[in-house]
Amino acid sequence: MTPNDSHPQPPDNSLSLALIKLLKGVVYQDSDPGLWQHIITLQPRIRDYVATLGLALHLDEAEGYAWLATREEEDDAEALPRLMSRRRLSYPVSLLIALLRRKLAEADTTGGDARVILDREEVVSLMRTFLPDSSNEARLVDQIDSHLNKVAELGFIRRLRGQQDKIEIRRIIKAYVDAQWLNEFDQRLAEYYQHEDDRQRRIPAGERPATGQEAN
């Protein structure tokens, strides 16, 4: 290392390793500090390389995560095929993401621990309020577990090692779900409730499905 170097030189294959990890998904500082330092050091080269693929590097040093996203092209530029595909989310998964984002915002507001960890039962309780009544508790929990797995695939949560009933909200969710997204989802949720209420009103009382309370 020469006297003018501000960072240790990364190994020869560090650029390839950084690019491969980023192309696979979000990279977190706390998961791999060594790789994180390579990304910080190699930022200019990473940005130049992924730009040729129509991608942009997004990096938040304060929160400790980095990811790639499709770069917005100028209106007159020829659009490249999308390397990062868009994912259409189901209503329950979108709802779960919104609820988790709110829990993270509440924790940040109170100035508590930077890590936000929830019990699975707490997540079930959050979701139960917004889902149709069910007399089959085990089936409801299995469904919510399935939604949690989908959110984990997206990188917004992780289950703690050795404690599968504990879920940590990853801070990358802040980059994907902003205040505007939450407001728009609230509007869609209100429309959903109105539609569901109107539908229930049109069903004769004797033909309505039994709720958990009615089953008891």
Mean predicted confidence (pLDDT) in 78-97: 70
Higher pLDDT, 70 or 57: 57
Q: Quick one: pLDDT band at residue 34, thresholds 50, 70, 90?
A: very high
Between CA 18 and CA 13 the distance in angstroms is 9
What number of CA atoms fall less than 13 Å from residue 146's CA on the CB side?
8
| CATH 1.10.10.10 placement within the chain | 91-204
DSSP 66-83: EEEEEPPPPTTSPPPPPS
CATH of 14-70, one of 3.40.50, 1.10.10, 1.20.120, 1.10.3470: 1.10.10
In the block, tokens 């621990």 appear at: 113
Q: What strands lie across the sheet with 157-160, from one edge to the other? A: 116-119, 163-169, 157-160
Question: Residue 118: beta bridge partners?
Answer: 167
Q: Is-above-0.85 flag for pTM?
A: no
SS3 at position 28: strand
Of 1 and 148, the structure prediction assigns the larger pLDDT to 148
Band of residue 37 on the pLDDT scale cut at 50, 70, 90: very high
pLDDT in tens, 159-188: 888 887 899 999 888 888 876 777 777 777
Is pLDDT at 209 greater than 50 in this prediction? no
Of the candidates 51, 54, 44, 53, the one whose C-alpha atom is nearest the C-alpha of residue 10 is 44
How far apart CA 21 and CA 200 sit, in angstroms, is: 48
Which of 79-83, 177-181, 205-209 is least confident? 205-209
- Consecutive H or E run containing 157: strand 157-160
pLDDT of 15 higher than 90: yes
Beta-carbon count within 10 A of 168 CB: 14
Whole-angstrom distance, CA of residue 38 vs CA of residue 60: 14
Among 132, 143, 145, smallest CA distance to 214 is for 132
* CATH 1.10.10.10 given to domain 91-204: yes
The answer for residues whose C-beta is within 8 angstroms of residue 200's C-beta and 6 or more apart is 208
Pick the closest to residue 145 from 120, 168, 169, 163 (CA basis): 120
Instruction: Return the residue matching tokens 């039962």.
Output: 121
